Amino acid sequence: MHDLAQQIVSGLATGSIFASMALALVLIYRSMGVINFAQGELAMFSTYVAWQLVQMGVPMWGAFFITIVVAFAGGVLLERLVIRPVERAPQLTLVIVTLGLFTAINGLAGWFWGYVVKPFPTPFPTTPLQIGGVAFSAQDVGVIVVSLVTLGLISLFFQKTKLGLAMRAAALYPDQSRVLGIRVGWMLALGWGLASVVGAISGIMIAPVVFLDPNMMQSVIVYAFAAAVLGGIESPIGAVVGGLILGVVLNLLGTYVEAIGNELRLAAALAIIVAVLVIKPSGLFGRATVQRV
Amino acid sequence: MARAIRVGIAVVVIAILPAIVPSFVVFDFIYVAAYAIAILGLIILTGMNGQISLGHGAFMALGGYVVAVLAHNLGWPYWVGVPLAALASGAFGLVIGAIALRLAGVYLALATFSLAVATPSFLKHYKSITGGFGGLSLDAVKAPAGLPTSGQQWLYYVAWAIAGAAFLASALIVRGKFGRALRALRDNPIAAISFGVNPYSYKTLAFGWSAVLSGIAGAFLAMTTAYVSPDTFTFALSITLLIGAVLGGMMTFWGALVGAIVIEFLPLVAQQVNAGAPSVVYGVTLILMMLFVPDGIVGGLQRLTRRLVRRVPSPTAFEPSVPAAASMAVDQPTRE
């Protein structure tokens, strides 16, 4: 029973990271109909920035906040420089451009920091927490708390601030928003900045577990795809719920079902993606899309 | 006529190459043949039919592992293994193609991306067949007794003969009704369907044929390296194929040849700067190409020569300056 509780909490911890990455994907998908294949690589690069800061003697949480600022600026900059020119291009062009970003950022990280796997310091205490007689790892609990706070702040931002409202308006009704004086282009760039911040936080949270290397986010992004698809790719709530479900289910499957183990977790995520897209493409929370003829 | 001359020149260059370049370059050009076959498959699927696949490395993995497992575990000869690799990959392609019918546009990209990332973990999991992490080593290809060529030269000629056959067969296939149907389904699916083009059979068959080609390419990759492992068929391979197709040009088969040469030799040069440099160059070029030359090196050169030779004014509204970009539209779901 204790074992099960530990496994569930540990599943929620990875799940909240999937949820954050999925939310980052959904933020961009909602505003411009683009799947940002480079989202994971942006997160990986930000995590390297945090690592570099820690190496230079900045305390862990200081590095955390500086990285957030860097990630935000990077996201905004990339949108302005790279995505803006192809904003209205066909889907294939956008997919290839984000894959170009993926490849370039992956290579840059390898160029700057090499391909040797590096340990990443955990920002949380290493002694387990005793809750109700069960020992939980402080890393797991910390990850869940940080992720939930992040998601809560994002949601507050979109629901309660003028800027958040403007961003939602720009995403849903770009033409009408422009008439109302909202700078739609900058709203999209802000969206990329926010998504990049959410990604950076996920990267820092998961790095102590998966370690730091340029390919660290490759499987995480697939889990995030699975979470986003499961929840409905247009639904922020869906992304979060999808991520948490996926984290717990994959962790329990990996632990208790011998045949799946660690290696086939990715295959399970792939199976979820395909099954949801074939059976119910709108996911758990999305609306069915209608194709205009 | 001009095309016959270009094909003739290509054939002659390929035929005499082993006599004039050192043997390690011959080795590189066997890889070029394999990549060209795989990229050809991608051009037919994505360029001609508008279906985005980011997972063609998975088909190469299947082809490579079929040859390797048959040769390593059962001792079957390569001339049996390669056709079986093509068949197995083609069958898998038909299955994925049938699933792909339900996944429009970006969803197909997402699913094939995930397939490519998950491929190595499948290969690692079924250890008893695939050899797990360590992979399988193969015997080097030997020339048939009595021929004066080395094993490497023999493999070179066989690979290019197969590549030639693949290009010829593909050209014949896409030339007539089949090719027209593929392009019609890419450019205007609704109109095509109204005219009686069956989207299900054509799109699935395009996926199947594309997978056959990738399977053959994977088989030659395995035989050339004489070794397969999960690290041979990572996500990077899938993305490299797409990069080759985009850089070469998705609108003509020549793009496959040019793209294959680029992805074989560019990393060899860029690696000397830094291990991360090839990816940086690839990524930046990919973005720049999509912004400025979406029809690739071959498409760009064609436009350039047309402009120089005929002195025609730059394309007008009737002939969009970048036809590729316009026709690359993929059916995408619109929101309500």
Asked if pLDDT for residue B137 goes beyond 90, the answer is no
Tell me the per-residue pLDDT of A105-141, one tens digit each, with 9 for 90 and over: 999 999 999 999 999 988 888 888 887 777 888 888 9
Q: Which two tokens stand for residue A97?
A: 């451009």
Q: Where are the domains of chain B?
A: 23-327
CB-based contact B283 A105, cutoff 8 Å: yes
pLDDT digits (tens, 9 = 90+) for A83-110: 998 888 888 889 999 999 999 999 999 9
Angle of CA points A250, A252, A258, to nearest 5°: 95
Q: Does residue B46 sit at the A interface (CB-CB below 8 Å)? A: yes
Q: Is the CB of A222 less than 8 angstroms away from the CB of B118?
A: yes
Confidence of residue A291 (pLDDT cuts 50, 70, 90): low
- For the residues A15-34, what does the mean pLDDT come to? 91
- A window 4-33, beta carbon within 8 A of B: 33
Would the CB atoms of A266 and B276 count as touching at under 8 Å? no
Chain A window 99-138: which residues touch B at a Cβ cutoff of 8 Å?
99-112, 114-115
**How is B138-195 classified by DSSP, letter by letter?**
-PPP-PPTT-SS-HHHHHHHHHHHHHHHHHHHHHHHHHSHHHHHHHHHHH-HHHHHHT
Domain B23-327 is in which class?
mainly alpha
Measured between beta carbons, the chain A residues lying within 8 angstroms of B237 are: none
Contacts of A117 (CB under 8 A, 6+ apart): A211, A212, A213
Which domain range does residue A191 map to?
16-217
The residues, ordered by sequence, that sit 6+ positions from B188 with a Cβ below 8 Å of its Cβ are none
In a domain, A267, yes or no: no
Q: Which residues of B touch A107 (CB under 8 A)?
A: 276-283
Q: What's phi and psi for A118, nearest 5 deg?
A: -115, 145
Query: Is A292 within a domain?
Result: no
- CB-based contact (8 Å) between B192 and chain A? no
**Beta carbons within 10 angstroms of residue A165's beta carbon:** 14
**Which of B309, B301, B306 lies closest to B319 in space, CA to CA?**
B306
Rounded mean pLDDT, A57-84: 95
pLDDT at B318: 39
User: Which of A41, A84, A91 is most worth mutating to test chain B (most B CB atoms within 10 A of its CB)?
Assistant: A91
Closest CA to B55 of B4, B2, B101, B120: B120
- pLDDT tens per residue across span A33-44: 889 999 999 999
The rounded mean pLDDT for chain A is 90
* Predicted complex ipTM: 0.90
Coil, strand or helix at A219: helix
Put simply, the answer to whether A222 touches B121 (Cβ < 8 Å) is no
Q: A133 CA to chain B: closest CA distance, Å?
A: 37
The pLDDT, as a whole number, for residue A290 is 65
Q: How far lies B47's CA from each of A95, A184, B32, B163, B185, in Å?
A: 14, 32, 20, 19, 12
Contact flag B118-A270 (C-beta cutoff 8 Å)? yes
Residue in chain A nearest B100 by alpha carbon? A278
pLDDT of B334 above 60:
no
Closest by alpha carbon to A249, among A2, A18, A55, A1? A18
Residue in A35, A92, A105 closest to B330 by CB: A92
What band does B324 get if pLDDT is binned at 50, 70 and 90? very low
Average pLDDT over residues B228-238: 91
Mean local confidence (pLDDT), A20-44? 92
The tally of domains found in chain A comes to 1
Residues in CB range of A91: below 8 A, 6 or more apart: A33, B52, B105, B106, B329, B330, B332
For the stretch B108-125, pLDDT in tens is 999 999 999 999 988 888
Please indicate, yes or no, if residue A283 is contained in any of the structural domains.
Answer: no
pLDDT for B333 beyond 60:
no
- Name the DSSP class of A115: S
Task: Give dist(CA A13, CA A141) in Å, integer.
Answer: 7
Q: Pick the range with the lowest mean pLDDT from A15-24, A110-119, A251-260, B19-28.
A: A251-260
Distance from CA of B272 to the nearest CA of A (A): 12
Q: Are A227 and A243 in contact (CB under 8 A)?
A: yes
**A28, A31, A32, A34: CA torsion to nearest 10:** 30
